[in-house]
């Protein structure tokens, strides 16, 4: 198998997986193995499985009407989240389980082998807890409590009362099910003081921190995330020089979400400035019914190359190793010895084809924890 862009003079690489981990990688034939499964990828390129570090997969209903209105010029606003909250609260648990299972399978088909999933469309103690329970049905997902997504209608007159609920009984009920605490720090959602309260409450409960920050305009979210040692600040569409400097001096990952900027017709995040300043950058799908209804990391990579001017190698790295860093994981997002044997085999000679031939299903096979979980489909030969 070739892992890097094709190196014909060096011959193909072989990779051996054992107990779900990368056990050997090298030129020429692999060492003799007793038994086991063999996958000959015939010179196709192999990259680490994608690590999608930002999704909202547990929801009901859709927002096609809102999307269509955007096509006619209406701006995206945080208020649309309320539509999905109403549909999600009304949905039966099996409906939510089917949706999350379907989207997780779709993501795996597209090469995503590690997924983060947020709550955030329940916004009561019981509903948020239920969403995390449903998300937990996805094997090995990283779960994030996002009770502070927006202030629900019933607290419109008392937003601080809602923040108190999130920091108190909602956090108590949800923290045991989650690894992470997130907050939407934005105009129309939570201000700096409210966001700080939520993040500090999450930290007291032992959760790692992440922030939806600087999506719709410049705001305090990135600086707050850096100050509190968040693992990641996500969106980062509107940054000033101080934000870039603060990120560069921190270990907080800047997670960029180009499909959100596509769906909401927003300007692109200043990705090159971040990379050139030495900031750790991740790419994720933010799959949700409002601002980015896609699980395709291939599309994310294509947009990152085209709109952010990332090289394909930088984009693939951000969608794999970058996502892993954003989740504090060193076992995924790369193919070093001992890493999880999570691989995507592309039906292409080079990862650059993800951007070069956008919009096509170029995933030939997916291996997760050493098992071939998506096999090459038999193509009907052209007559």
Residues making contact with Fe ion (CB under 5 A) = 286
Judged by CB under 6 A, which of 46, 226, 260, 287 binds ligand NIG?
A: 260
Give the distance from CA 305 to its chain's centroid.
17
Report yes or no: 295 and 287 within 8 Å, Cβ to Cβ.
yes
Q: Would you count residue 291 as binding ligand NIG (CB under 6 A)?
A: yes
Tokens of 144: 């994030």
Q: Which parts of the chain fold into alpha helices (H)? A: 64-71, 81-90, 93-109, 125-135, 159-165, 171-174, 192-204, 221-227, 241-248, 258-263, 271-276, 297-308, 312-317, 323-326, 353-356
Query: Looking at beta carbons only, is 34 or 71 nearer to ligand NIG?
Result: 71
Question: Which of Fe ion, ligand NIG, none has residue 81 at its interface (CB below 5 to 8 Å by kind)?
Answer: ligand NIG
Strand ranges of the sheet holding 343-346, from the earlier edge strand across to the other edge: 45-48, 343-346, 363-368, 371-374
CB-neighbour burial class of residue 23 (10 A; exposed 0-12, middle 13-18, buried 19+): middle
Question: Which of ligand NIG, Fe ion, none has residue 208 at its interface (CB below 5 to 8 Å by kind)?
Answer: none
Q: Would you count residue 194 as binding ligand NIG (CB under 6 A)?
A: no
Q: Would you count residue 152 as binding ligand NIG (CB under 6 A)?
A: no
Closest alpha carbon to 26 in 321, 317, 335: 335
Report yes or no: 321 and 334 within 8 Å, Cβ to Cβ.
yes
Residues between 69 and 128 that touch ligand NIG (CB under 6 A):
80-81, 84
Q: Would you count residue 288 as binding ligand NIG (CB under 6 A)?
A: yes
Query: Looking at beta carbons only, is 61 or 376 nearer to ligand NIG?
Result: 61
CB of 54 to Fe ion, least distance (A): 6
Q: Would you count residue 67 as binding ligand NIG (CB under 6 A)?
A: no
CB of 184 to ligand NIG, least distance (A): 5
Residue at token pair 């994720």: 284
Question: Which of Fe ion, ligand NIG, none has residue 252 at its interface (CB below 5 to 8 Å by kind)?
Answer: none
Query: Looking at beta carbons only, is 81 or 345 nearer to Fe ion?
Result: 81
Question: What is the CB neighbour count within 10 angstroms for residue 375?
Answer: 10
Q: Residue 332 half-sphere exposure, CB side, CA atoms within 13 Å?
A: 32
Query: Looking at beta carbons only, is 76 or 353 nearer to ligand NIG?
Result: 76
Q: How far is Cα 308 from Cα 118, in angstroms, rounded to an integer?
A: 26
Residues in the chain: 383
Query: Looking at beta carbons only, is 142 or 286 nearer to ligand NIG?
Result: 286
Q: Would you count residue 212 as binding ligand NIG (CB under 6 A)?
A: yes
Which string of x and - marks every residue 19-58 that binds ligand NIG (by CB under 6 A)?
-------------------------------------x--
Q: Would you count residue 184 as binding ligand NIG (CB under 6 A)?
A: yes
The CA-to-CA distance between both ends of the chain, in Å, stands at 29
Question: Which of Fe ion, ligand NIG, none has residue 215 at its interface (CB below 5 to 8 Å by kind)?
Answer: ligand NIG
Residues that bind ligand NIG (CB under 6 A): 56, 80-81, 84, 184, 212, 215, 260, 286, 288-291
């Amino acid at each position: 198998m070739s892992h890097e862009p094709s190196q014909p003079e060096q011959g193909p690489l072989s990779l051996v997986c054992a107990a779900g981990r990368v056990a050997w990688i090298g030129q020429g034939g692999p060492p003799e193995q007793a038994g086991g499964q063999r996958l000959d990828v015939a010179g196709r390129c192999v990259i680490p499985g994608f690590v999608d570090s930002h999704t909202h997969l547990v929801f009901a209903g859709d927002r096609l009407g809102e999307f269509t209105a955007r096509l006619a010029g209406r701006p995206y606003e945080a208020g649309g989240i309320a539509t999905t909250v109403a549909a999600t609260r009304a949905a039966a648990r099996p409906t939510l389980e089917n949706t999350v299972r379907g989207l997780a399978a779709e993501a795996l088909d597209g090469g995503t082998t590690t997924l983060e999933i947020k709550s955030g469309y329940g916004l009561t103690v019981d509903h948020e807890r239920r969403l995390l329970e449903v998300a937990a049905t996805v094997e090995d997902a990283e779960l994030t409590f996002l009770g502070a997504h927006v202030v629900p209608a019933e607290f419109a007159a008392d937003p601080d009362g809602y923040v108190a609920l999130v920091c108190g009984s909602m956090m108590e009920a949800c923290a045991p099910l989650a690894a992470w605490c997130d907050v939407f720090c934005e105009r129309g959602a939570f201000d700096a003081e409210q966001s700080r309260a939520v993040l500090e409450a999450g930290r007291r409960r032992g959760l790692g921190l992440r922030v939806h920050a600087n999506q719709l305009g410049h705001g305090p979210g990135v600086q707050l995330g850096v100050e509190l040692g968040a693992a990641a600040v996500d969106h980062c569409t509107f940054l000033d020089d101080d934000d870039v400097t603060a990120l560069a001096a921190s270990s907080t990952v800047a997670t960029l979400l180009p499909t959100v900027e596509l769906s909401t017709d927003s300007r692109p995040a200043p990705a090159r400035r971040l990379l050139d300043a030495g900031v750790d950058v991740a790419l994720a799908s933010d799959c949700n019914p409002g601002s980015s209804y896609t699980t395709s990391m291939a599309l994310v990579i294509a947009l990152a190359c085209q709109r952010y001017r990332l090289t394909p190698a930088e984009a693939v790295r951000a969608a794999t190793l970058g996502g892993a860093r954003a989740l504090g994981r060193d076992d995924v997002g790369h193919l070093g010895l001992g890493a999880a044997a999570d691989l995507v085999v592309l039906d292409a000679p080079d990862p650059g084809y993800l951007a070069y031939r956008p919009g096509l299903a170029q995933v030939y096979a997916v291996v997760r924890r050493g098992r071939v979980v998506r096999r090459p489909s038999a193509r009907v030969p052209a007559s």
